Every structure is written in C-alpha cells, then in structure tokens.
C-alpha cells in the first residue's frame, strides 16, 4: 500500500498538532512562534485551513508550470539561506530594515539591490563572466523584499 501526498501531509499536520498541544507554551522553542501570522496568539493547528506555504505544494493548474514552481522552491531556499546569514531573530530582513537608521526607507534599499541585479544581467548579456542564475534569483528575492517593505510601510 502506498501513501498519497495528501495522506502524508495530513499525518504530518496531525503530528505537528500533537506536538504543539503537548509542548509547554513557555518552552523557549515556541517563543515568538505563531501558526497564523495574522493573529496575536497562536491558533489551533490545521483546522481544515491551508497553512502558510501550502500553495507551493499544490499541483499546478492546467496552465501552470512545474519549472516555475521549481524556481520558486529555489527562491524559498535562498530566502532561508540569506535569512540565516543576514537576518535577525525578530526580523528576517534586519539588514534591509537597518537602512532606516541612515534615513533610507527599507524598500528603497531593496530597490537599489534589485537594480544591482539588473546591472549584473546587463554585464552577462555583454559577455562578461556573471552567474546569471545567481543574478536572477537575487533579483526575484530583492523584488519580493521590496514589495514586502513597501506594503509594510503602507505603500
């Protein structure tokens, strides 16, 4: 008997819910942890609602592209890598947010780094030795950070 992806996800969610239900809320591993990023307090797990990130695991629609979803997964991995290198415990974009201390809005800082990625691609197009995959993934990353910071600012 083989297990389907949906059955595996359901079993994993049940295991996570069980672990959270049986973990003391004061446990340091749970400090700052929220299942629902929109609520001030954690909400019960997985009550038939999709969890954040579930959409990345769904089968693509008829017009969707598996290559695009694969690239999105690579972007997600890059986000985790960069957060570990440059982010802080409270702010995944701490290095970007810090620009406000110098009078530069964080979204503008991200836009400058996005512009740098475009310059790298222009150099690649001219035959200069540039890693295009790295430049394009960085560009997508900076574009999303720019969007997030603009939305946080109310723009």
78-132 per-position pLDDT tens digit: 888 888 888 877 888 998 999 999 999 999 999 999 999 999 999 999 999 999 9
pLDDT at 62: 59
pLDDT at 38: 46
DSSP track, 119-133: HHHHHHHTT----HH
> With the CA atoms of 74, 37, 151 and 56 taken in that order, what torsion angle do they form, in degrees rounded to the nearest 10?
30
Question: Could you tell me if 142 and 117 are in contact, meaning their C-beta atoms sit under 8 angstroms apart?
Answer: yes
Asked if 96 and 23 sit in the same domain, the reply is no
- State yes or no: pLDDT of 41 exceeds 60: no
Asked if 81 and 41 sit in the same domain, the reply is no
- Least confidently predicted of 75-79, 112-116, 136-140: 75-79
Beta-carbon contacts of 26 under 8 Å, excluding residues fewer than 6 positions away, are: none
Asked if 66 and 127 sit in the same domain, the reply is yes
Between CA 72 and CA 57 the distance in angstroms is: 11
Range(s) of the domain holding residue 31: 1-53
pLDDT at 2: 66
Which of residues 50 and 143 earns the better pLDDT score? 143
How many domains is the chain built from? 2
For the beta carbon of residue 78, count every other beta carbon within 10 angstroms. 15
């Amino acid at each position: 008997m083989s297990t389907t992806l949906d059955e595996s996800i359901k079993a994993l969610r049940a295991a996570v819910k069980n672990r959270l239900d049986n973990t003391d809320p004061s446990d340091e591993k749970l400090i700052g942890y929220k299942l629902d990023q929109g609520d001030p307090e954690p909400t019960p797990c997985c009550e038939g609602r999709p969890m954040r990130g579930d959409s990345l695991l769904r089968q693509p629609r008829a017009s969707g592209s598996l290559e695009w979803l694969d690239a999105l997964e690579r972007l997600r991995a890059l986000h985790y890598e960069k957060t570990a290198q440059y982010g802080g415990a409270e702010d995944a974009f701490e290095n970007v947010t810090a620009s406000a201390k110098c009078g530069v809005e964080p979204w503008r800082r991200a836009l400058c780094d996005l512009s740098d990625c475009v310059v790298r691609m222009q150099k690649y197009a001219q035959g200069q030795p540039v890693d295009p995959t790295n430049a394009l993934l960085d560009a997508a990353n900076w574009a999303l950070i720019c969007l997030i910071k603009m939305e946080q600012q109310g723009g």
